[in-house]
Structure 1
């Protein structure tokens, strides 16, 4: 039976059978079929799709056909979402440390609304089938829609701030900015993740006494004192448009979020979710970071 429609037994990690069912429902809702890829022709289509999304420098694509071929042949994750014969989304990932526990999702992109969610749920079911407990990936903490998707729709949580993770990037989306990332960790068996995969968004509680670590003033970030049990870290509404319209203002946001969010996380604070365009960061208490 194919991966996209397979229904395995219960794994004890949120339920493999339930995970495949949720993945199938997500795919059906947006009219796609998700399947594993293992042919050169499919990898070339993925490369074309990613070029359509990011418009990278031809010398530095997000992934190459050769690497996808190697990943697939070695049993790693390479999958595509199809509307008929048209590829509308794709995702690649590889096994990571600790061995037997983690899949690192390297690149995921989609041009069909809902296809990204369907791909991630397929990826989760695929990982559960192999006994994995976590999927990790990096994303730009300034991109609000990605924070909403990763934290609210999926229930992943940032667990590490990574300044200038990729070095200079030459694609249309990231060019002219520094490549800070956060490492998102998707704990596949967490109750709030199971609910999110069932289309119940994860909305964190904002602790009493939370303070504004960064706020908007005239579109610019204003960093404030971060003393308190929790800190709210705002991000711009659309940093990608801001990079083009006002690079200096976009750069100010980068530095402010790096200082406040990065500083808090480096000091042991835990991001508990994303709400109203702001990261909710718990500073005190043994329960910090737990949904």
Structure 2
């Protein structure tokens, strides 16, 4: 059980900075948020919270108010199982207490565990595919990869019901031997696979990682650009995409 609380002091933000460096190993690259920016954001009414296991900081999240009555969670990092879930619940509660309607964030669509957590566990839903959103990133986890992101919304008042599994769903992008293989996209419900471990693949086979990046961008991004809706994440492998 974690205690999640808002952070307001410079010393607390310095602990968050050290935690994020442990997770992403930015080195000389710029971190996504600095101690000074955390101080400014919270002073202006933004969000910073930490998840604690006793006195140990095991997770933190920093966000800001966004258009459309939303709290936008800019960066969240954790080093303990369950801390991310505790932080997300705190974000939604904080947003409701401040009269907001939703929590939004972006994540890498190729990371299976994040897709499962965001869509299957939380019930959030992607609303836009953002190609190379941050440009090429230089931290140890993302180094050299293009930074495609899914903009995701989570309503404060409750999550949408999960879409029922349809037996007639067609695989629009398959994982065959670790490589992406496109299929038909003209069915009412299609499934879009992502690789088993994109973070390992970046180091072991950069060419395959790049192939996955562009294949998911073309298929999933293309379907969303047509107005189709991502309604779930099936079997820890496939995005479920349906005609609106």
| TM-score interval, smaller chain | over 0.9
Closer, same or farther: CA 119–191 of 1 in aligned 2, 3 Å: closer
1:83 is displaced (CA, Å) by 1.4
Matched residue, 2:34: 64
1:152 is displaced (CA, Å) by 1.1
Identify which of 175, 182, 193 aligns with 2:143.
Answer: 175
Whole-Å Cα distance in 2 between the matches of residues 233 and 110 of structure 1? 27
Matched residue, 1:217: 176
- Give the alignment's TM-score, normalised by structure 2: 0.96
Cα shift readout 1:179-236 (whole Å, capped 9, x = no counterpart): 00010111121354xxxxxxxxx75323342110111111100011211101100001
Whole-Å Cα distance in 1 between the matches of residues 194 and 144 of structure 2? 18
Any residues of structure 2 matched to 1:249-260 within 5 Å, and which?
Answer: 249-260=208-219
Any residues of structure 2 matched to 1:107-118 within 5 Å, and which?
Answer: 107-118=75-86
Matched residue, 2:242: 282
Matched residue, 2:71: 103
Whole-Å Cα distance in 1 between the matches of residues 44 and 10 of structure 2? 15
Whole-Å Cα distance in 2 between the matches of residues 38 and 79 of structure 1? 9
Whole-Å Cα distance in 1 between the matches of residues 14 and 164 of structure 2? 44
Whole-Å Cα distance in 2 between the matches of residues 109 and 188 of structure 1? 21
- Give the alignment's TM-score, normalised by structure 1: 0.81
- Asked whether the 8 Å contact 1:203–1:275 carries over to 2, the reply is no
Q: CA RMSD in A?
A: 1.2
Any residues of structure 2 matched to 1:1-291 within 5 Å, and which?
Answer: 31-98=1-68, 101-192=69-160, 203-276=162-235, 277-283=237-243, 288=244
Whole-Å Cα distance in 2 between the matches of residues 281 and 217 of structure 1? 20
Please list every run of 5 or more consecutive structure 2 residues that lacks an aligned counterpart in the other structure. none
- Asked whether the 8 Å contact 2:61–2:75 carries over to 1, the reply is yes
- Per residue, is there more strand in 1 or in 2? 2
Q: How many residues align?
A: 243
Please list every run of 5 or more consecutive structure 1 residues that lacks an aligned counterpart in the other structure. 1-30, 193-201
